[in-house]
Amino acid sequence: MSARETILNAVRAGLDSRKVDAEAARREADALLQDLDAIRPELPAGALVDAFIARVTSPKVAATAERIKDITELPAAVRRYLDAHDLPPHVALQPAAVLEDLDWVALETRDGVKPDDVVGIGIARWGIAETGSLVFHSGPETPILANFLPLHHIVMVRERSILAFLDDYAVAVAGQRPPRNVNLITGASGTTDIEGSLVLGAHGPAHLHVVIVENDIHGDIDADKSTPGASS
Amino acid sequence: MQEAPVSFKLRADRALADPTLKIAIDRTTGTAERKRTVAMTQFPQFEAARERGKRIKDHVIANLDHYLLEFERNAIASGAKVHWASTAEEASQIVVALCKQANAKRVTRVKSMLGEEIGLPHALDEAGIERVETDLAEHIVQLGGDRPSHIVWPSMHRTREQVSEMFKRAHRVPHQEETIEAMVASARRELRDKFLSADVSISGANFLIADTGATCTVTNEGNAELTTTPPRVHIVTAGIEKLVPSTEHAFLMLRLLVRSATGADVTQYTTFHCGPKQAGDRDGPEEFHIVLVDNGRTRMLADPALKEMLRCLRCGACMNHCVVFRQLGGHVYGGTYPGPMGAVLTPVFDGLEQSRDLAHACTMNGKCQEVCPVAIPIPTLLRGWRDRSWREGLEPAAARFGLGIHTFVASRPRLYRLGTAIAIKVMRLFSRGGLVRGMPGLGAWTKYREFPAPAKRSFMAMYKDSEGKR
């Protein structure tokens, strides 16, 4: 008998050989998702974007954030960040058309992120106000490592794609084929492994800056097209 | 997994005699306890969430065959290869065989308690495959050549001075400054090219998502993603109890897990890994393997005295709040999992005869159950092991003899009262300021703590007097 059969038989024996009714299991599982407000934290009153920014910049997440009106203002926002941190004018772009098409003026940009890059710029598909998380789906325009290699990570997220709770993200993508990786990123990389003291920049970025774009008449990143309704 | 070299009692004595260890433990568990308390006050829904989390896990366990098959089906559809292992040996053999098949010279690992449980570090070393631990704490454990002493902070038994020394010896470009920041930077430099040049990556899973076939990891360092993306092959090892019905259910459990583990609301990185690299993807592994491991879990399922332990999320809250763990640290427990949850699990993996002391290293104060995010009645489960150990005749002759005498005396009221009257008189002779700090026959107790002096008269004596006055 294969290990698979051995294990499944042992499970069934442990459950008194009761036959699972898949429909009943599904109903029970769904019932466990009811009345979510009773079992998740409350959001502060007011606009979702304000709750999101408050969370991102709180000591819990310890990132910085700013709002811009239009995506065309992103290069200027990046420039301000570089100047404020005394960084050279080289940035690595997540290979998304919407970023590549921007006018980066005097900044030297490179398609794709290298292991020793100082500044990387990316686009998150969603923001989550509950936790201050940014959500990325790996894909042709979203290499996974682009979010982990640079020392400074500047991430753009559209205001309309900010969701209230983690659960809302799960609902938004339910039934779709998941990407290789869904990365929820909440703040910079950190560790408390030496005597419990927190140090940022463990293996991933040491700094996270979030730029929220109010107006997004410009193009979406590729995968957005396959997720209608995700932004509602 | 590992054979305990010396008895539990001797290990405990050594731990108690180590002053640095106590400082190291206090620093980390103290912070964890404080941060969890704050997180709880900010999450008044915790009790309701915990009840729901408990029901979700119970639901999964009650339908485990259904969810295992659903997970397998969806994982295969996503392009993953699913393997099954009944025992620890089988599981590590499968992983080593996959590494050899991939011609792996260098393997990077993300911290996984299941990997420790199945003896993977040892199996990889035996097979002559270079193993790079990428979690900072596991990196420290690897350099120190010892074992994790906590399931969330595996190197909590090391002070910064010890870490500094190890890094200076092992790193190519070690830190110059004696700060923790500089040490972390040194590890970052040391490990970066190893992440990128490994042939195979191995991770565990915090959750297995039945309706997508994805596996979920949570980390703060970002080492999981840096580990599992560049190599051509990614292998996940996970216990069969890690299933949840859907991503939504996973988020409910995550709220409980992270707050209980570190006091944060969410870890910096929460990642769902679903299948290998897809068409057009810029990076990611070409092969994705998932090894589903039983190793005693189906035995626990069939055992009413252990079944509830299958809810365990491996958050470590029980050990952070355990008075015994906080005195002894994790190594004393001798198994893969330390603390209260380890005391329940270790006899399952190593046998009760090897580990019967663990159930006794408990004051039954109930703190572990109180902080458990899925309300596992750990003291009840430990009492179950004590019972079993007694029934199976594993308790030593001295204990059986002592308890025999106690039973004889306690069931004879006159004899018992005479005995306590004498004991009270003698103990009061040795007490100073209401405490006994030393007394012949009480040395094992008073070596580490005082014994409160008994009241002048026993309760029964006072009760009789007051009854007489009525």
Q: Residue A225: which pLDDT band, with cuts at 50, 70 and 90?
A: very low
Q: Compare CB distances from A180 to B137, B247, B276 and report the shortest one's residue.
A: B276
- If you compute the radius of gyration of chain A from its CA atoms, what whole number of angstroms results? 21
- The pLDDT of residue B16 is 92
The answer to whether the CB of B346 falls within 8 A of the CB of B381 is no
Q: What residues of chain B, 211 to 230, have a C-beta less than 8 Å from chain A?
A: 212, 214, 220-223, 225-226, 229-230
* DSSP annotation string for B408-429: HHHTSHHHHHHHHHHHHHHHHH
Does the CB of A10 have a partner CB in chain B at under 8 Å? yes
Q: Which two tokens stand for residue B143?
A: 């350099």
Helix (H) or strand (E) holding B32: helix B19-41
- The pLDDT of residue B470 is 65
Does the CB of A20 have a partner CB in chain B at under 8 Å? yes
Does the CB of B185 have a partner CB in chain A at under 8 Å? yes
Does the CB of B160 have a partner CB in chain A at under 8 Å? yes
pLDDT tens by residue, A127-160: 999 999 999 999 999 999 999 999 999 999 999 9
How far is the C-alpha of A174 from the C-alpha of A171, rounded, in Å?
Answer: 5
Please state the ipTM of this predicted complex: 0.94
Average pLDDT, chain A: 91
CB-based contacts of B66, cutoff 8 Å, min separation 6: A20, A22, A25
How far is the C-alpha of B434 from the C-alpha of B430, rounded, in Å?
Answer: 10
Asked if the model's pLDDT at residue B363 lies above 90, the reply is yes
Q: What is the pTM of this model?
A: 0.93
Q: Residue B110: which pLDDT band, with cuts at 50, 70 and 90?
A: very high
Least confident range of A39-43, A134-138, B413-417:
B413-417
Q: What residues of chain B, 334 to 373, have a C-beta less than 8 Å from chain A?
A: none
- A104: helix, strand or coil: coil
Neighbouring-strand partners of residue B107:
B131, B200
Q: Residue A228: which pLDDT band, with cuts at 50, 70 and 90?
A: very low
How far is the C-alpha of B335 from the C-alpha of B413, rounded, in Å?
Answer: 43
Q: Compare CB distances from B245 to A29, A183, A201 and report the shortest one's residue.
A: A29
Inter-chain contact A138–B281, Cβ cutoff 8 Å?
yes
Least confident range of A81-90, A110-119, A135-144, B202-211:
A110-119
Least confident range of B343-357, B366-380, B451-465:
B451-465
- The pLDDT of residue B246 is 98
CB-based contacts of A5, cutoff 8 Å, min separation 6: none
CA–chain centroid gap for B429, Å, is 44
Inter-chain contact A202–B221, Cβ cutoff 8 Å?
yes
Inter-chain contact B84–A2, Cβ cutoff 8 Å?
yes
Does the CB of A23 have a partner CB in chain B at under 8 Å? no
How far is the C-alpha of B379 from the C-alpha of B371, rounded, in Å?
Answer: 12
User: Of B184, B196, B232, which to mutate for an interface test with A (greatest number of A Cβ within 10 Å)?
Assistant: B184
DSSP H helical ranges for B241-338: 247-262, 297-301, 317-320, 323-328
Mean of pLDDT values over B6-21? 91
Q: How many CB pairs under 8 A join A and B?
A: 270
User: Of B268, B293, B311, which to mutate for an interface test with A (greatest number of A Cβ within 10 Å)?
Assistant: B268
